[in-house]
Structure 1
Amino acid sequence: MTEPLLTAPPEATRPVRLGIHGAPHLASGIITAAGHDPQDVEFVPYDVAEPFRPLREHTADIMIVKYALREADIALSRPVAFDGRALIVAADHPLADRATVSVEEAARYDAFSCPGDFPPYVWDEVVPPRTPAGTPVRRVHPMTTVEGMVGILSTTRAVHLSFRSLEAILPPHIRAVPVHDLPPAPVTLAWLRDAPLHPKAAALVADAERGAERSTR
């Protein structure tokens, strides 16, 4: 592990509380690859506008994050998975029927702005302010909930540069089109740096790191 874990006294009867946003199947895959039973983990949904609140209020033991964090009170595992990039659009959008799409094409349409207390430096990875060719990305629509995003996508020509994992929870009238010129996002597990960690959560982090290493050999 990249950082030492402070282990709390055993709490054998309580499941690991894992913070997630969006579809749970990415988390389930990480748990299974770690050799753990998903039934032993309780998913704790977090608000994208306050992503670290469950950790800081001790209602989650660990959480799934993407890209590198620079939060002083939060420690990170090594990457435990990768999540491919996708453009989320309405089914009648001009890009909806494409097999793949370029971020340069996506930049022709309005995108979503950084929500609430979400770290802007991470949002710049999720929805880049400019494409590799230098085209500005118009980040104008408010990002609130998945339902709110779907409502905007359904009534406008807006697009959301997001992740393939989101596809599992999209309604039929919304599509996820793979983006071929943005690299997959590294997925890590995060926990409070100076707080004792539930022993099952510590084991899950360590086993998830080992599972990711095995998958790349």
Structure 2
Amino acid sequence: MERQEIEAFLTLAEELHFGRTAERLGLAQGRVSQIIKKVERTIGAPLFERTSRRVTLTPIGRQLRDGLLPGHRQIQRAVAEARVAARGLTGTLRAGYSAPWCAEILIAAADLLHVRNPAAQVQVTEVQLYDPLGPLRAGALDLQLTELPIDEPDVTVGPVVFSAPRALIVPVGHPFAERASVSLEDYAAEPMITVGGGAVPAYWHEHHYPSATPSGRAVPRGPVATYWHEILPLVSSGKGVSPTCLWAAPYFAHPGIVHVPLDDAPPIEYGILWPTARDTPAVRAFADLIRQAAARRTDHSSGQ
């Protein structure tokens, strides 16, 4: 059996659906059928039972699948490990994150890397929002996964990895807390508590903590926090409200606050950053693994 025949057979044995198999392999559905028929002629027996409603493996098909699968997986691992080694992914990579859901994606990407190259390690470190690019520029990090936009001449920004809905943190008992959602125009109703610091790019701050609503109404300013965690007690104490990612709700449960979805705000986009001067094959290879891990995470979370 040729490689394409083995891959087509094993993929169909997993999917049990010609359309999905064709999509995964990047082939026409008719081509998949031709390949499977050729394999069946080579074996000398049907490998699949086909009806108008379902596809199932025959006993001989199951026997062939069980015999081929371990060797095929071993070949895939060997090829993946060789590719990782060729890209220079050895030693320790230092990856930063700005939110716990970003950390989970980095850890999942590190697990993928470890499977493919046990000699490579990833050190995951939190980056504070008041200085979002400081560790990267200081050489303490090789790359990071964080909120966009970032537009700096010395920083390379990869494509958007995932996006997440926005919410507004309000005190329990506030009129907004009883609503199913709020709008960007509601920003003008209460002081906005923000994260500040001299190192925060002005355009980033305006994007996440706007000074005016879409209609041009001024957004009153409340206290400025140095660390994001300081915002929660300020909100619960009635000092104002603060925008955030809706995914923060289960991670940062705090007595006295409610996360209310924003119904008209664009999602928060997250991307991978690295210093342009330290653009290496290892960084780009790990960035690819981050995108893979993010796709799995967001697919799993699509229902929330």
TM-score after normalising by structure 1: 0.80
In the TM superposition, what is the alpha-carbon distance from 1:37 to its structure 2 partner? 6.1
Q: Distance in 2 between matches of 1:10 and 1:153?
A: 47
Alignment pair present for 1:12 and 2:94: no
Q: 1:101 to 1:41 in 2, by over 3 A?
A: farther
In the TM superposition, what is the alpha-carbon distance from 1:42 to its structure 2 partner? 3.1
Match of 1:3 in 2: none
In the TM superposition, what is the alpha-carbon distance from 1:85 to its structure 2 partner? 0.7
Q: Distance in 2 between matches of 1:207 and 1:28?
A: 13
Q: Is 205-214 or 125-134 further displaced after alignment?
A: 205-214
Larger Rg: 2
Q: In the alignment, is the contact (CA less than 8 A) between 1:127 and 1:161 conserved in 2?
A: yes
Q: Secondary structure at the match of 1:54?
A: helix
Alignment pair present for 1:159 and 2:252: no
Q: Secondary structure at the match of 1:104?
A: helix
Q: 1:31 to 1:78 in 2, by over 3 A?
A: farther
Q: 1:82 to 1:48 in 2, by over 3 A?
A: same
Q: Distance in 1 between matches of 2:236 and 2:98?
A: 21
- Deviations along 1:84-137, one digit per CA (max 9) or x if unpaired, are 111012233321232211121232000034511111101111111111122111
Q: Distance in 2 between matches of 1:37 and 1:98?
A: 44
* Alignment-mate amino acid for residue 124 of structure 1: E
Match of 2:59 in 1: none
Fraction of identical pairs, as percent: 25
Match of 1:137 in 2: 219
Q: 1:11 to 1:79 in 2, by over 3 A?
A: closer
Alignment pair present for 1:76 and 2:157: yes
Match of 1:192 in 2: 275
Q: 1:37 to 1:148 in 2, by over 3 A?
A: same
Among 98, 101, 104, the alignment partner of 1:21 is 98
Among 113, 116, 137, the alignment partner of 1:56 is 137
Alignment pair present for 1:181 and 2:264: yes
* Alignment-mate amino acid for residue 150 of structure 2: L
Pick 1 or 2: higher relative contact order, CA cutoff 8 A, min separation 6.
1
Q: In the alignment, is the contact (CA less than 8 A) between 2:222 and 2:239 conserved in 1?
A: no
Q: In the alignment, is the contact (CA less than 8 A) between 2:96 and 2:145 conserved in 1?
A: yes
* Alignment-mate amino acid for residue 162 of structure 2: A
Alignment pair present for 1:43 and 2:124: yes
In the TM superposition, what is the alpha-carbon distance from 1:33 to its structure 2 partner? 7.9
Q: 1:96 to 1:17 in 2, by over 3 A?
A: farther
Q: 1:83 to 1:167 in 2, by over 3 A?
A: same
Q: Distance in 1 between matches of 2:114 and 2:217?
A: 42
Q: Which has the higher helix share?
A: 2
Q: Secondary structure at the match of 1:96?
A: helix
Residues 195-214 of structure 1: pairs in structure 2 closer than 5 A: 195-197=278-280, 199=282, 201-209=283-291
- Deviations along 1:167-216, one digit per CA (max 9) or x if unpaired, are 233133222211011110221100000115471x4212124446778989
Q: 1:129 to 1:75 in 2, by over 3 A?
A: same
Q: In the alignment, is the contact (CA less than 8 A) between 1:127 and 1:162 conserved in 2?
A: no
In the TM superposition, what is the alpha-carbon distance from 1:157 to its structure 2 partner? 4.5
